[in-house]
Amino acid sequence: MSKSLFEKVWDAHSVRQLANGQTQLLIGTHLIHEVTSPQAFGMLRDKGLKVQYPHRTFATVDHIVPTNESIEPYSDPLAQGMIEELRKNCVDNNVTFFDTNTGKQGIVHIVGPEQGITQPGTTIACGDSHTATHGAFGAIAFGIGTSQVRDVLATQTIALNKLKVRRINVNGELAPGVYAKDVILHIIRLLGTQGGTGYAYEYAGSTFDNFTMEERMTVCNMSIEGGARVGYVNPDATTFEYLKGRPYSPTGEAWDAAVESWKSFASDEDCEYDDVVNIEASEIQPTVTWGITPGQGVGIDQNLPLIADGATLSDRESIAEALEYMQFEEGSAIKGKKIDVAFIGSCTNGRLSDFQEVARYIEGHKVADGVQAIIVPGSQVVAKIAEGLGLDKIFIEAGFEWRAAGCSMCLAMNPDKLIGDQLCASSSNRNFKGRQGSPTGRTMLMSPLMVAAAAVTGEVSDAREVFGVLV
Amino acid sequence: MSSTSIKQVTGKGVFVPGDDIDTDRIIPARFMKCITFDGLGDYLFYDVRKTETGDDKKHNLNDPRFADASILVSGNNFGCGSSREHAPQSILRAGYKAVIAGSFAEIFFGNSTNLGVVCVTASDQDREILKDAIELNPELEITIDLEDHKVWYGDQSFPCAIKPGARDSLLSGNYDPLNELMTGAPEVAKVADALAYMQA
């Protein structure tokens, strides 16, 4: 019988059915960070349990790491305490830790792929909802809570319900100036923030076939913002090319065997899906969010909705709540909103290609007066390569602050935060109320190049016009 | 761990308005710089309840009439966003035992169930009626009956829903799966042995 990749990976990792009907699923690769793991190690200690498969857990530190301070102890004693706790837990339990002195530290969803730990046909869990990023390689990857981090440490398994699979085909070529970020913002806008609940999203079609691994990661990363815990792309030659020669990739004969095995996990052509959605790439515009959920986005040439546009009372209340929080007029143009901060980075858009694309256009431009612009590499590896290419100098010359690797201003667990009701053009993944650290701070999500355009004009702008991107 | 069976949850209710209440709102990230879950109850819905200077905002969660509520009533897609278990931990530690919402985000739902925090869904209309009833009489006793799939308030009731697996776990008291997972160790080893990437 033909099967989807989801079903094949699920079957290969199913241990047994549990009493409540859930599946005990083997988690082949477990990624941990400092925020959601210390309590899990604590629970293990309380119960006198050991890490069962320590060689299958990999740690890094990302959320609390300051990006403007590299010498410990950090000025924030709580952050210092968290990094030390993770160090101790990794040493005590023989877990590999990509610490700040290894040259490999970074955002967990950037480190896994670049080290070659993320591989097709595997299951990957992490106490972080953006774990679906790893699905770009044809892995079933998802976020878990801390009690489940404990479960993985103690048993290498979790209890889970099987998901349905929705195939999302995007076909055709994206127009110049339209990026993977716009594709996922468009999908979430179309299917809603809870449209994916209970589903794994299989992203396919010629647009995805032609995407690089980094573009696929950007899309898979935000699956959870559409309610889907899992998002993936079938592995292909692009996937194998990316993985070849990475530190944790198989070598020699094992490589050939691995590639054969990986290919076999791809969805069968005639397999059935629980749902199929078709999207034309040419419909997708540079997309910007105006509200307080990632689904509240519009094309750069469009206006914000009217409250009366909401189909139901609860939709109308949501629009009104978002407009009030964002201090925007209903029906106003998205273009021209004055920004205070520009942030490029995060597990969504903190990879080398994101920085290369911005660098390609930003030369000769200057960040507008009154705008703070920061650009934060997703990992030390990304930082080193970018610096080797001289990208840091280009950004600094344009008026950006070039920082050290970490989650930075995506989530405000480190010194990078909005102040008061500042408005931020952000390449991150969430525009929730208070997400960027100030309870009244405002976030507009967009692609890195659109953030760069907003940074140089001081307002939300069409990057294609600002930088003369050939349309 | 075998815990006590949860067949019913009874308590007073409080209405938290809004759809898409994300886990950043339930527990802002800046309060997660901690290595235990102790004390998280103090920060539940912190920015919803407090001004930037730390004063109480006008909100049901600050209203003394609802001070001893133990059931949250809210909108659709409750608990969306971050997978942080800090969210249901803070709900539990602030003294709440259950949430009645239009729908739940998946990770939040799973995290809550593992802790024995009961999450049931009910229609917009029924939750609206319940909201009005609570606001009219904050002392109103609400019972979520998992066996009958019903929410009782006073002598009236409406249907509620919960995933069958989660319901089974709560009814049996085995909502924390660790013990059962541990008994599968030999089978886990077999599955792991068959996968090349699992080898040390």
A438 and A392 within one domain: yes
- Kindly state the DSSP code that residue A344 receives in the 8-state scheme: E
Per the DSSP assignment, residues forming a β-bridge with A230 are: A200
Query: Is residue B192 assigned to a domain?
Result: no
A 363-422 near B (Cβ less than 8 A): 411-413, 420
Query: Is residue B138 assigned to a domain?
Result: yes
Which of B81, B168, B184 is closest, CB to CB, to A16? B184
A215 and A353 within one domain: no
A316 and A349 within one domain: yes
Distances (CA, A) of A449 to A177, A185, A406: 8, 15, 20
Which of A122, A147, A317 is closest, CB to CB, to B85? A147
Q: Which domain holds residue A195?
A: 5-265
Q: Which domain holds residue B130?
A: 8-174
Nearest chain A Cα distance for residue B185, angstroms? 7
- What total of structural domains would you count in chain A? 2
| Residue A297 neighbours by CB under 8 Å, 6+ apart | A185, A186, A188, A189, A287, A288, A289, A290, A291, A445
Burial class (CB in 10 A: 0-12, 13-18, 19+), B132: exposed
A98 pLDDT tier (thresholds 50, 70, 90) = very high
pLDDT in tens, A233-281: 999 999 999 999 999 999 999 999 999 999 999 999 999 999 999 999 9
Query: Is residue A225 assigned to a domain?
Result: yes
A317 and A416 within one domain: yes
A323 pLDDT tier (thresholds 50, 70, 90) = very high
Query: Is residue A68 assigned to a domain?
Result: yes
Closest CA to A464 of A173, A177, A175, A178: A177
pLDDT exceeds cutoff 50 at B1: no
B2 pLDDT tier (thresholds 50, 70, 90) = low
Segments in B27-155 forming alpha helices (H): 46-49, 86-93, 106-115, 124-136
A471 pLDDT tier (thresholds 50, 70, 90) = low
Q: Are strands A23-26 and A14-17 parallel, antiparallel or unpaired?
A: antiparallel
Which of B25, B35, B198 is closest, CB to CB, to A433? B25
**Residue B83 touches partner A, C-beta closer than 8 Å:** yes
The C-alpha angle with vertex A442 and arms to A354 and A382, in degrees rounded to 5, equals: 20
A294 and A163 within one domain: no
Which of B18, B24, B165 is closest, CB to CB, to A21? B165
Which of B18, B110, B184 is closest, CB to CB, to A145? B110
pLDDT in tens, A4-53: 999 999 999 999 999 999 999 999 999 999 999 999 999 999 999 999 99
| Residue B148 neighbours by CB under 8 Å, 6+ apart | none
Which CATH number belongs to the domain containing residue A381 in this structure?
3.30.499.10
Nearest chain A Cα distance for residue B157, angstroms? 23
CA B43 from centre of chain: 15
Q: Which residue has the higher pLDDT, A314 or A440?
A: A440
Q: Which residues of A touch B105 (CB under 8 A)?
A: 194, 197, 227
Cross-chain Cβ contact A145/B114 below 8 Å: yes
Cross-chain Cβ contact B177/A22 below 8 Å: yes
A126 and A56 within one domain: yes
Contact status, residue B90 vs residue B26, Cβ threshold 8 Å: yes
- What total of structural domains would you count in chain B? 1
pLDDT in tens, A372-414: 999 999 999 999 999 999 999 999 999 999 999 999 999 989 9
A458 and A402 within one domain: yes
Query: Is residue A297 assigned to a domain?
Result: yes
Nearest chain A Cα distance for residue B4, angstroms? 16
Query: ipTM value of the model?
Result: 0.97
Residue of B nearest to A414 (CA): B30
Q: Which residues of A touch B88 (CB under 8 A)?
A: 145
Which of A45, A52, A88, A148 is most worth mutating to test chain B (most B CB atoms within 10 A of its CB)?
A148
A356 and A239 within one domain: no
